[in-house]
């Protein structure tokens, strides 16, 4: 059975000119005049590039099957990262190029979602936030209890983030993995 633009949903993976694209938004449009069409926002699975694309309604499309698996980060091995599937304990090496800048917030034992196509890893998605210990920061000044100022802090993964002035070494902070922003102090 051939699939068409009518089958597009959020999360669908399309093969366009040999590249894999994930549908992040779509809208079926039936104007008063003219033919119907489907307006989409798609993301290149490998590069992360986002584009808007419009397709004619009923146009035949090539959909791909992508397997999303939750895997736990184990350790770094030269130029790759080793993840373990916690259901069957299979270990998979993920190339450094798929991790990219996310490495700054990747801590051993972190569960990530890894997308596979035909057994090949396509992308690695970290949780939206992680809890990290502050390894080094300048001492805060007494009375600085507001969000008025920030200071640099190095967390246990080696990443440098901006934290409020009242955060001290040894404290655990919640960090947004998408942009590295401070989300709050974790009470342990």
Q: Where are the domains of the chain?
A: 3-64, 67-125, 129-186
- Collapse the DSSP code of 117 into the 3-class scheme (helix H, G, I; strand E, B; otherwise coil) and give the result: strand
Domains 3-64 and 67-125 share a fold: no
- Count CB-CB contacts under 10 A for residue 73: 22
pTM: 0.69
Question: Which architecture does CATH list for 3-64?
Answer: Roll (2.30)
pLDDT in tens, 10-29: 778 888 888 888 888 889 88
| pLDDT tens track for 61-109 | 888 888 888 999 999 888 889 999 888 988 999 888 778 788 888 889 8
Record the tokens describing residue 128, joined without a space: 């939206």
What burial class does residue 88 get, using C-beta atoms within 10 Å of its C-beta: 0-12 exposed, 13-18 middle, 19+ buried? exposed
Q: Both tokens of residue 174? A: 């919640």
Q: H-helix or E-strand containing 97?
A: helix 96-99
For the domain 129-186, what is the CATH code? 2.40.50.140
> 67-125 belongs to which homologous superfamily?
Nucleic acid-binding proteins (2.40.50.140)
């Amino acid at each position: 059975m051939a699939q068409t633009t009518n089958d597009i949903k959020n999360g669908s993976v399309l093969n366009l000119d040999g590249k894999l694209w994930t549908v992040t938004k779509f809208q079926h449009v039936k104007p008063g005049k003219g033919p119907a069409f489907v307006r989409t926002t798609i993301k290149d699975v490998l590069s992360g590039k986002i584009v808007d694309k419009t397709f004619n309604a009923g146009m035949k499309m090539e959909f791909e099957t992508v397997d999303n698996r939750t895997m736990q980060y184990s350790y770094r091995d030269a130029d790759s990262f080793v993840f373990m599937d916690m259901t069957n304990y299979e270990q998979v090496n993920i190339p450094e190029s798929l991790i990219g800048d996310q490495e700054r917030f990747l801590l051993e034992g972190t569960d990530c979602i890894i997308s596979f196509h035909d057994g090949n890893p396509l992308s690695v998605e970290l949780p939206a936030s992680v809890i990290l210990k502050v390894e080094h920061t300048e001492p805060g000044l007494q009375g600085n209890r507001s969000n008025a100022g920030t200071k640099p802090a190095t967390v246990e993964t080696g990443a440098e983030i901006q934290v409020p002035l009242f955060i001290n070494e040894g404290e655990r902070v919640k960090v947004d993995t998408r942009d590295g922003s401070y989300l709050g102090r974790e009470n342990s």
